[in-house]
Chain A
Amino acid sequence: MSADVAPTPQAPGEEVPPLQPAAANSGLLEVFRRRYLLKLLVRSTIQARYQGTFLGWFWSYLQPFVRFLMFYFIFQVLIGRGGSMENFAIHLVAGLVIVHFFTETFNGGTKSLVSNRGLIIKLPVPRELFPVATMLVSLYHSIPMVVIMLVACLTLGWAPDPMGLVAGLLAFAIIAVLGLALALIFSVANVYFRDFGKVTQTLTQFTTFSVPMIYPFSMVAERFEKLPWVADVYLLNPVAEAVLLTQRCFWIGTNSDPEAAALEHLPADLYSRGVIMLVISLGLLVVSQLWFSKLERRVPERL
């Protein structure tokens, strides 16, 4: 080796980086550190969705709108579930937004490691990146439906109120954190046993019917008046809680008598339940990160 080899390309006076394990990974903190890569990954996933189509992002608005029309027609007009409720359509869409955000995050997140196999087995990237990216992409894809709902609400004379905004943000926070936690748990499990993809699909089938979307919460309370614990168990579902919070944000205000509607169709301790759910979700996120870190060692060879 020649004796006058130039020193390694570092600016003079710069500190020499420490010698550390090659595969060091601080999990979600690492994802935050590489947020530039996360941003690009999210952006490229979003761009890729409608590449090659002529109408592009128009489809992001058309699809939810058609779904909303279908649900409205069947449940309000045909079955008449909306009955005594005003603006049942808004009640429904509020639920749809949350259900959609949750199921897309959960399903997509579960598959995220397996579908990015090519990248993971060859290049060092923090693997939590993929479930996080999935959650952010789903969040982004919720926007068109929220926009449609906002327009509809404003037309009906709704005006945003501070508590409502808090409720709405709380709802999205719960689902974002919960969805991410579940995505972390199931994505790595799916690498070991591909069955988990199917398990997730089966579980998300329940979501549509276990939340007060196509029927109001008051119906559950009424039906099981003699067994009040049923309503309590029902409310243990964080997705149901998030749906109720979103309805507080958007739907309640469109009623002619918001307070009466809130009394009838929302549980009494809505906000405290919401906060508890958020705390539980954060706890689950911590657990899911520990689970992920433990199992991700063997992910490259298992993919």
Chain B
Amino acid sequence: MTTVIKAENVTKSFTMQYHRSLKQIVLAKARGQKTHEYFNAVDDVSFTVEAGESVGVMGLNGSGKSTLLKTISGVMQPDSGQVLTRGRVAGLIATGAGFQPQLTGRDNLWLNAAILGMSEAETKRKLDEIIDFADLGKFIDTPVTYYSSGMKARLGFAVAINVESDVFIADEALAVGDRPFKRKCKQRMREIRENGTTIFFVSHSPGAVKQLCDRVLVLEKGKLGFDGEVQEGIHYLHYDEGDDGDDDEGFGKDD
């Protein structure tokens, strides 16, 4: 089996205060305080993902999931260790980032597709599919500044979910919007899964992870606390306890 993601001793640390002015630094030194404080958002994390696997990443807020995903997508570089990936890594991260408000939905579609790595020919080929999926009707030719948040989300989603990637990553809900749109998203995610695309996504929803993934990574304060079976992982995180009703992000066929 080909390895598509390989993380080796990945560590990423952040400073808590970047822009200290000269006055602040002098005062801090005079008072004997530290001028900069560091913390490890991701601490010595190692794992490999083979082609075709579907991996969920879970963890409490602040455990380093998004940072880890950023090292995998290529936005950030690890301070030590390395992250290797094979092929195109793209998906549902920051859908709608890079939207220029003055441009129409259509122009933003082209721009967003290019940002995600699609070539002109690819975009042209998938144009109808994307416009169909977004379901904006005539509004596709209106400047995005007039869109509702739902419309922006739908457009961003439509582009991101139609990028043909070798590794599909997601750092947000896999389905947004109203019921019909959510249904479309879930259908599309199932298609992606059935196609054999490697899936690697961050989730707070045990339901989604259970239904889409065969493996789960659990992060705890930056460290990899668990790597293995989905049910065990969810239990490790105590996400199967509590009676406040599970979320609604199920991925069953009848959801």
Contacts and interface: CB of A to CB of B under 8 A. Distances in A.
Q: Do A and B bind each other?
A: yes
Contacts of A36: 114, 119-120
B226 interface: no
B252 to A, nearest CB: 17
Contacts of A9: 164, 166, 195-197
A24 B74 contact: yes
A103 B27 CA distance: 37
A40 B110 contact: yes
Interface string A1-39: 100011111100000111111111000000000101100
Nearest to B7: A22
A87 B197 CA distance: 68
Contacts of B196: 5-9
A118 interface: yes
Counting contact residues on chain B (CB < 8 A from A), the size range is 35 or more
B107 A44 contact: yes
Interface stretch (A47-55, A90-98, A160-168, A242-250): A47-55
B84 A19 contact: yes
A17 B87 contact: yes
B52 A5 contact: yes
Nearest to B3: A19
Contact of B98 (A34, A119, A194): A119
B87 A123 contact: no
A48 B98 contact: no
Contacts of B114: 34, 36-37, 40-41
A297 B111 CA distance: 25
B111 A123 contact: no
Given A36-B120, A302-B18, A20 B84 contact: yes
A19 B86 contact: yes
A299 to B, nearest CB: 9
What DSSP secondary structure best describes chain A's contact surface? loop
A52 B166 contact: no
A36 B120 CA distance: 7
Interface residues of A, number: 40
B107 A17 contact: no
A297 to B, nearest CB: 5
A300 interface: yes
B100 A44 contact: yes
B116 interface: yes
A5 B93 CA distance: 25
A283 interface: no
A37 B15 CA distance: 32
A110 B53 CA distance: 43
Contact of A123 (B4, B15, B94, B103): B94
A23 B75 contact: yes
Contact of B103 (A21, A34, A44, A297): A44
Interface of B: 2-4, 6, 14-15, 18-19, 51-54, 70-77, 82-87, 89, 93-94, 97-98, 100, 102-103, 107, 110-111, 114-116, 119-120, 143, 164, 166, 194-198, 214
- Cβ-closest 6 pairs across A and B: A122-B94, A124-B74, A51-B102, A6-B196, A37-B114, A22-B74
